[in-house]
A and B are shown apart, each in its own frame.
Chain A
Amino acid sequence: MEADYRVKLEVFEGPLDLLLYLIKKEEVDIYDIPIENITNQYMEYLTIMQMLNLEVAGEFLVMAATLMYIKSRMLLPADQQVTDTEEEGGEDPRWELIRQLVEYKKFKDAALQLSRREEEQSNIFARRGDVGIEVEAGRAPLAEVSIFDLINAFSDVLKKASARDDFHEIAEEKFTVSDKIEEILYTLRNRTEMLFSEVFAQASSRTEIVVTFLALLELIRLKRLKVRQDQAFGEIHVIKVT
Chain B
Amino acid sequence: MQLELKKIVEALLFAAERPLTTKEVRQILAEATDEENPGVTEPFRNVREAQVAATLEELKVELDTEQHSYQVVEIAGGWRMVSRAEYAPWLKKLLDEARPHRLSQPSLETLSIIALRQPISRADIAAIRGVEVDGVIKTLLERDLITIVGRSDVPGKPLLYGTTQRFLEHFGLRSVDDMPKAAELRVQAAALKTAEGETQHSNTPSPQSADEGQATAASQQD
Q: Residues on A close to B: CB < 8 A?
A: 10, 12-17, 31, 57, 59, 63, 87-88, 90-92, 94-95, 98-100, 102-104, 106-115, 117-129, 131, 133-139, 141, 143, 146
Contacts of A14 in B (CB 8 A): 129-132
Query: What distance in Å separates the Cβ of B48 from its nearest Cβ neighbour in chain A?
Result: 27
Q: A111-B109, A125-B91, A133-B100 are in contact. Are A106 and B129 (CB under 8 A)?
A: no
B100–A113 touching, CB < 8 Å: no
| B181 close to A (CB within 8 Å) | yes
Least CB separation from A95: chain B residue: B205
| B80 close to A (CB within 8 Å) | yes
A59–B132 touching, CB < 8 Å: yes
A214 to B130, CA, bound (A): 26
| B3 close to A (CB within 8 Å) | no
Compute the total of residue contacts between A and B using a CB distance below 8 Å.
Answer: 160
Contacts of B142 in A (CB 8 A): 137
Least CB separation from B19: chain A residue: A126
B101–A118 touching, CB < 8 Å: no
19 A-B pairs in the complex with CB atoms less than 8 angstroms apart = A17-B131, A92-B205, A99-B205, A106-B181, A107-B109, A107-B112, A108-B109, A110-B180, A112-B108, A114-B108, A114-B180, A122-B88, A124-B84, A124-B88, A129-B18, A133-B97, A134-B100, A135-B98, A136-B101
A135–B17 touching, CB < 8 Å: no
Query: What distance in Å separates the Cβ of A220 from its nearest Cβ neighbour in chain B?
Result: 13
Q: A111-B109, A137-B142 are in contact. Are A16 and B129 (CB under 8 A)?
A: yes
A13 to B84, CA, bound (A): 36
A133–B129 touching, CB < 8 Å: no
A108 to B100, CA, bound (A): 22
Interface of chain B residues 152 through 210 with chain A (CB within 8 A):
170-173, 179-181, 184-185, 199-201, 203-205, 207-208
B130–A59 touching, CB < 8 Å: yes
A15 to B143, CA, bound (A): 27
Q: A15-B131, A117-B171 are in contact. Are A110 and B104 (CB under 8 A)?
A: no
Q: A59-B130, A63-B130, A88-B203 are in contact. Are A114 and B112 (CB under 8 A)?
A: yes
